[in-house]
Amino acid sequence: MGLIGLLGRITTLALALAVVMLAHAAPATAAPIRPVCHGFADPGALPREWSCGATHWRPTARVAWLRFDAASWRDAPPRKLILTIGRFDRATVSAYGDRGVQWSRELHLDDFTALENGPRMAVNLPAVSPQTKSIMVRIDHTWSIHTLSGTRLDASDAPGEPWGYRAMVLLAMLAGLLCAPVIFDLAFYTALRERFLLWHAGMTTGMLTQTVMASGLAVTLFGLTPVQLAVLSPLAFAVAVAAAAFFSAEFLEPDALSPRMRLLLRLSGWWVLLVSCTLALQPPGLGALGGQTYHLSFLPTTLVFGTTMILAVRSGSRAARFQMAAWTPILACGFDRLFRGIGLYSLPMAADQAIYLAMALEVVITMLGVADRFIVLRGERDRANARAQELEAAIERDPLTGLFNRHGIEDRFAAFRNAGFDTLAVVDLDHFKAVNDAMGHAAGDCVLAAAAAALSDDPDLVAWRLGGEEFLLLLRGRNATARAEARRQAIPGRVAATIPGLPAPVTASMGLVEMQRGSMLATPYAELYARADRLLYEAKHAGRNRTCSEKVTLFAGGDRRVADRRRSARQAA
């Protein structure tokens, strides 16, 4: 299945989930009942002071108390206790009337059921009578302040708010949107092998997991319990932040940051993995300090991230500009959650939806940044490849004649054999030293260039200058021997037309070996060259301006036999 088809299926699933959730939309219900006052006390004691109407939730002791008055529910008595998902030791709910305690119930995290419309959990309450004046909720050693600030009573069997089904549909669509970058990252990594793609996939996966866990989608899709959600949601967020630090360290251009700042960015990622992830597992004994410490543990990474982005932008980094635009909304939401997590103030739970909008913006902007980075990397690689080709050409080409030089000929010989080149010839100009002595080295260079032009004038011939006045030819196709001889005989005319006034024609001698294709594949370059070189010197000793050649056949059993040995051809000057 292609990438487009896979993305189509993901989109279809997201839309189907949206339709299902809309079809199961709950009817409108009364707003949850908020506590009128809250306070903190040590175990076994009541709060000395109550905060009524205050927005801050800074704990001053390990036990939190919340008071709900009957005037808040009037004729619709509460049926459920609702908490924001988070770990705590125990919760005690007590109803009070004119004669004191009417009933009391002790609850633990396992007693709650996760809700589908937001990061909340609920438990049924005993019947609340008309004589009930107030309900007191005591929560011991809560891990997160959000658990306290989000505590509500609800009069309906199917609690509504804080997130309506319209918001849940949008979150389902966001989850589908977050799947696409992961697929793109993994697909592009197979081609580019850039590590920042893996870190971006990890970051997006963490965001996707946190969105599914914290929004209630995990309850709809996987039926997770509050105990599981209380750990997985903060853990996924910590993993996403750590991956973001590693992603930025790899994604920013090499000259955007100093090595120390890049190392500091990586260390901040390891800090989150080791410290924040450990705190997300909610080790026992920390109580409310665990949640506050968890939120504060992101502060060093946030400061490092902000500092490195500012420095990178000031250095002219294109990638950093995309990063700043993508992460500014998330950082703003992160600081908001940090301040609320340590109890400085509280906001309605719907304010948590802002982080998901920020995630959607981050995904879109970061993918634009990744695409821009691809364009930059491709340009850099194209320029590097062009430069490498220029250097390769400079190394492998003879600057005087434009032919290949002897560097790499043996390494490439197998490729030429496979391409059908089955004839090898060595050509040497006759009495070339006399040309240099009579006309000078400049004229000698012109003679070499003209000879090279004469030799290479064949589409099925590849020529090398081995050094001095010696050349090597590889030929393929029909009549290869005759065509090589024609190239040798073309040298005097080409040289005379190019350099007038030479005292004598410039001729050439050639040694040539022609083999059957199967034999060519079985014969190494060194052996063929040595055979052709011996034939060249035979041509020289026979009077020059001629060709000595032989045709070699490989018979069964690997035994070589030579036919038409030392055929000689001579062209008069």
Q: Catalytic: which of 116, 161, 362, 469?
A: 469
Task: Count the helix, strand and coil residues of the chain and give each as a percent rounded to the nearest 5.
Answer: 55, 20, 30
Mark whether 485 is an active-site residue: no
Nearest Cα to Cα of residue 566 among 488, 483, 510: 510
Vertex 423, ends 420 and 424: CA angle to 5°?
A: 125
Written as one letter, the residue type at 53 is G
CB-count burial class (<10 Å; 0-12, 13-18, 19+) for 361 = middle
- The residue length of the chain stands at 573
Q: How is the beta sheet containing 152-154 ordered, strand by strand?
A: 113-114, 120-124, 80-84, 152-154
Residues in Cβ contact with 141 at an 8 Å cutoff, skipping those fewer than 6 apart: 62, 63, 88, 89, 287, 288
CB-count burial class (<10 Å; 0-12, 13-18, 19+) for 535 = buried
Q: Which residue in this structure is represented by tokens 């609690």?
A: 159
Give me the residues paired with residue 83 across strands: 121
Q: Which residue in this structure is represented by tokens 């004038």?
A: 457
What three-state secondary structure class fits 19?
helix
Phi-psi region of 106 (alpha: psi -120 to 50; beta: other; left: phi over 0): beta
Phi and psi angles of residue 190, each rounded to the nearest 5 degrees, phi first: -60, -25
* Whole-angstrom distance, CA of residue 56 vs CA of residue 34: 15
Residues in Cβ contact with 226 at an 8 Å cutoff, skipping those fewer than 6 apart: 85, 109, 112, 113, 114, 121
* Whole-angstrom distance, CA of residue 420 vs CA of residue 68: 93
Q: Which residue in this structure is represented by tokens 């506050």?
A: 292
Nearest Cα to Cα of residue 224 among 308, 81, 109: 109
* Whole-angstrom distance, CA of residue 53 vs CA of residue 526: 95
Q: Which residue in this structure is represented by tokens 């008071």?
A: 67
CB-count burial class (<10 Å; 0-12, 13-18, 19+) for 130 = exposed
What three-state secondary structure class fits 279?
helix
Nearest Cα to Cα of residue 539 among 444, 468, 458, 470: 470
Pairing verdict, β 546-554 and 508-515: parallel
User: Three-state SS string across 526-550, please?
Assistant: HHHHHHHHHHHHHHHHCCCCEEEEE
Q: How is the beta sheet containing 134-140 ordered, strand by strand?
A: 51-52, 37-41, 63-69, 134-140, 90-97, 100-107
Nearest Cα to Cα of residue 362 among 325, 308, 311: 325
Task: Give the catalytic positions in this structure.
Answer: 469
